[in-house]
Amino acid sequence: MIPKMQILIFLTILSIRTLAQGTSDNLKYVDPLIGSANGGNVFPGATLPYGMAKAVADVDSGSRQGGFTTENGNVTGFSTLHDSGTGGSPSLGNFAFFPYASCPGDELNRCIFPKISRKIPYRAESVSAIPAAEMTTTQHTSLFRFRFPSSGNGTQSPLILLDLTDLNDSRQDNATISVDANTGRMTGSARFLPSFGSGTWVGYFCADFTNANIRDNGIFANSRASADVKTLTISRSINGYPLPGGGFIRFTSNPPDGILARIGVSLVSSEQACASAEAEIPGFDFDEVHQTAENAWREKLSPITLSTAGVGESLITNFYSGIYRTMVNPQNYTGENPLWQSDEPYFDSFYCLWDSFRSQLPFLTILDPTSLTEMIRSLIDTYDHEGWLPDCRMSLCKGFTQGGSNADIVLVDGYIKGLSDGINWQKGYEAVVKDAEVEPYDWSNEGRGGLDSWKSLGYIPTEDFDYKGFGTMTRSISRTLEYSYNDFCIAQLANELGGKESDVEKYLERSNNWRNVFKADQKSFLFNGTDTGFTGFFQGRYQNGTWHTQDPLRCSNIDQNQAGCSLTRNDAETFESSTWEYGFFVPGDQAALISLYGGPSSFIKRLNYIHDMNITYIGNEPSFLTVFQYHYAGRPALSAVRSHFYIPRYFSPTNAGLPGNDDSGAMGSFVAMAMMGLFPNPGQNVYLIMPPFFESVSIKSPLTGKTAVIRNINFDPNYEAIYIQSATLNGEPYPKNWIDHSFFTEGKELVLTLGRNESSWGTRVVDLPPSLSEYMGFPGTNGTPLSPHKLSSGCGPEPVTERSGQYLELMTNTFTTRLHRLSTCIAHGLF
């Protein structure tokens, strides 16, 4: 019999409780276990901000995408590469260690080597994000401290094995390992599959051990090991499970302060992995490495401070933990990219931009613009060398594109918020134009499909005829909506860069293509047959213009039959969301959408309906903006009400507290930005204003050193007074319900006076956020189009007079006029 051992895991990173109480240290509010159960899929281990080395215990539970979960799985090893919050297959989890206090009867072969049989339960109560971390990391290196129970008779001979495996068992042929007999150093490499993408990638490692004398070492293959063999090259074999293989080392004693195992990782070579490990953790000084990691996080979290009067610790923890998760991914692989030679930074694990363009990367323009600048440079450099901006990228491979070419939005958001340091914006422009103009052969992995139809018909047809490029021929509705907004963003960049008037016109024109898939007479019935009472929804359209019909509730949160809303052949015409929810995805022209839905009060009714009826799924990113779109209809108070409805009810600071996959920190950024009272409409220089969840929030711009403050007067920690009555900006009355990025860079002060009732603040048309078209049909306008702010002389498309759904025709008829009007817009600086 093999003695059962339980593993005590001390995850980790942060000596939270050991920090001096009462300091203004934000790190003590970070709980990395939030989202470690219930499908949050977060990486709950040790890492630096954007670190490549991410150390954690791996388990065998069904949602081990981030390595470890608090769902009582069994520990299969302790590995170093991970992603955070992702869907798809479990990601990375490479080069796990596994420790034994000794082999039964001191026989090497009675230690269990294969992952499938060696796994053991962990003691739930030992999992804690508190201190005495037994894993800590630098940029490319993990340091594990394994302490073994003492047998009392001094005969123990601890063994640590290193496994040539990953979480999802994707290892391909010819993995290798060599063990140095004298030093015990293990080096090697193996090829793996990316978890949501195409191709393969190779990882390298270099492991060293210290604190006890070496007894022997060698390799294992399958269930057998030998100290006589020091190198191994192993096949994947044929059984769908890569053959167990790796190295082991045994020690002559069990030191009370544990054995230290250091593993450097690289995507270039074992030599580079060794060099990183030696440079980053030369002396195996656990406490020093740990302290350095903490300091790095403390520094990253320091720009945002709160006045927390009256607010419980749980909300503060929710806030800072959300912020923390925005900086776990993407990962900084600068110097680790074997694919091309370049002096530019290289970031990976953009997983996926479809998730992170909405608020995570916009949040980093505020909190960490220097890092975001490097990420944008990396995206542009990826375009430069691989020919396309990624939409998703992991482990040096192209990830799958979910809808539009959303790097376009990321770039434009960065540009209009003033990021510049070293970014080649002309090349960035070239890259987004290529997305809009050139169809890739394989648009599952990059760019956009159906561009011939897009240009000639003005929409992506359902069952398109496309012989130039190939991808899953679905999502015609959501792709039309996303491409439209991508083009809106490109038009802005063209306008800002200057000298590109015809491009501005072209892309603004195409940004209106969403109108072509609006079917004015489409009704929607609940699944019990009751008419929702709403008419007019986006629908797919064939090439001949005939409508395709998809139940507007398909793929919504209340659709019981959720099969087929992703990337499989025959899936829906919307991606991971319903036509109801996609029905609000016109971020550049909310005014036109409001008109189309029959004016602001019908728009509000519809928006309320998707939230009240649980149609929207707050656990997935398309829902984010719908929480705040009330601002555009002149009811900013309702955005505040909605955000308090969702936070903390659906986003709570507990292990199971996230409503869906964190998606590399996308959910974290939603919490952070909603709670700080400013939510972005990404790709535009717009933040929608709500009262922060705290009395005040101060944000020091890392670029300018100036501090922006958003402060509530009459702050009510019970959140009954969440209605802005009036506002001032730097002491002057501020009636607009949105603000731009200069708030942060120039360190302005926004003071919100709160009350218990909705007020008229931020409700007038002149106070609404910018929109391509004019706002119409608002109270007091008697149906006559108003000139919105900035648009003084007939800027914007022709008023939509008729809700016939014949927008294709409408556009063609008014083409000349509209072009003229759009030029007027540009002249008036719409953007």
Ligand X SMILES: *[C@@H]1O[C@H](CO)[C@@H](O)[C@H](O)[C@H]1NC(C)=O
**Contact in structure between 205 and 177 (CB atoms under 8 Å):** no
170 is a contact residue toward ligand X (CB under 6 A): yes
Which x/- pattern, by CB under 6 A, does the window 64-103 give for ligand X? ---------xx--------------x------------x-
Q: Minimum distance between the CB of residue 105 and ligand X, rounded to whole angstroms?
A: 7
CB of 174 or CB of 291, closer to ligand X: 174
Crossing angle of helices 360-367 and 369-386, rounded to 10° = 130
Q: Which stretch in 358-366, 542-550, 733-741, 742-750 sits in contact with ligand X by CB under 6 A?
A: 542-550
Q: Minimum distance between the CB of residue 331 and ligand X, rounded to whole angstroms?
A: 9
551 is a contact residue toward ligand X (CB under 6 A): no
Please tell me whether residue 380 adopts helix, strand or coil conformation. Answer: helix
Per CB under 6 A, contacts with ligand X among 32-71 are 50, 60-61
Q: Minimum distance between the CB of residue 237 and ligand X, rounded to whole angstroms?
A: 12
Which x/- pattern, by CB under 6 A, does the window 745-784 give for ligand X? -----------xx---------------------------
**Contact in structure between 144 and 134 (CB atoms under 8 Å):** yes
Angstrom distance (rounded) from CA 338 to CA 728? 52
Q: Which two tokens stand for residue 26?
A: 């934000």
The residue type found at 322 is G
255 is a contact residue toward ligand X (CB under 6 A): no
Angstrom distance (rounded) from CA 406 to CA 385? 19
DSSP 244: P
239 is a contact residue toward ligand X (CB under 6 A): no
Beta strands per DSSP E along 476-592? 518-525, 531-538
For residue 62, what are the CA distances in angstroms to 1, 37, 39, 66? 29, 10, 9, 11
Angstrom distance (rounded) from CA 18 to CA 261? 24
Nearest by Cα to 500 from 556, 585, 561, 426: 426
406 is a contact residue toward ligand X (CB under 6 A): no
Comparing every residue's Cβ against ligand X, the nearest one is 151
313 is a contact residue toward ligand X (CB under 6 A): no
> Which class for 741: exposed (0-12), middle (13-18), buried (19 or more C-beta within 10 A)?
buried
Single out the residue of 544, 560, 570, 782 in contact with ligand X (rule: CB under 6 A): 544
Angstrom distance (rounded) from CA 422 to CA 418? 12
Q: Which stretch in 25-33, 149-157, 306-314, 592-600 sits in contact with ligand X by CB under 6 A?
A: 149-157
Q: Which stretch in 251-259, 288-296, 315-323, 524-532 sits in contact with ligand X by CB under 6 A?
A: 524-532
First-residue to last-residue Cα distance in the chain: 73
CB of 64 or CB of 700, closer to ligand X: 64
The secondary structure element, H or E, covering residue 491 is helix 476-497
The residue type found at 72 is N
For residue 22, what are the CA distances in angstroms to 18, 19, 297, 696? 12, 9, 18, 18
Q: Which stretch in 147-155, 260-268, 511-519, 701-709 sits in contact with ligand X by CB under 6 A?
A: 147-155
360 is a contact residue toward ligand X (CB under 6 A): no
CB of 183 or CB of 614, closer to ligand X: 614
Q: Which stretch in 327-335, 359-367, 423-431, 436-444 sits in contact with ligand X by CB under 6 A?
A: 327-335
CB of 155 or CB of 561, closer to ligand X: 155
Q: Which stretch in 330-338, 439-447, 680-688, 800-808 sits in contact with ligand X by CB under 6 A?
A: 330-338
Nearest by Cα to 674 from 355, 359, 251, 285: 359
718 is a contact residue toward ligand X (CB under 6 A): no
Cβ density class 608-626: b for 16+ within 10 Å, e for less:
ebbbeeebbbbbbbbbbbb
Nearest by Cα to 514 from 586, 436, 596: 586
Single out the residue of 38, 76, 195, 444 in contact with ligand X (rule: CB under 6 A): 195
335 is a contact residue toward ligand X (CB under 6 A): yes
151 is a contact residue toward ligand X (CB under 6 A): yes
CB of 39 or CB of 796, closer to ligand X: 39
Say if residue 255 is preceded by a cis peptide, omega within 30 of 0.
no
CB of 224 or CB of 756, closer to ligand X: 756
Single out the residue of 12, 156, 382, 655 in contact with ligand X (rule: CB under 6 A): 156
Count of residues in the chain: 831
704 is a contact residue toward ligand X (CB under 6 A): no
Q: Residue 678: beta bridge partners?
A: 689
Per CB under 6 A, contacts with ligand X among 283-312 are none
**Contact in structure between 320 and 29 (CB atoms under 8 Å):** yes
Per CB under 6 A, contacts with ligand X among 363-382 are 371, 374
528 is a contact residue toward ligand X (CB under 6 A): yes
Phi, psi for residue 594 in degrees, rounded to 5:
-60, -45
CB of 195 or CB of 359, closer to ligand X: 195
Binding site for ligand X (CB under 6 A): 50, 60-61, 73-74, 89, 102, 121, 139, 151, 153, 155-156, 168, 170, 173-174, 193, 195, 332, 334-335, 345, 371, 374, 526, 528-530, 542, 544, 546, 613-614, 756-757
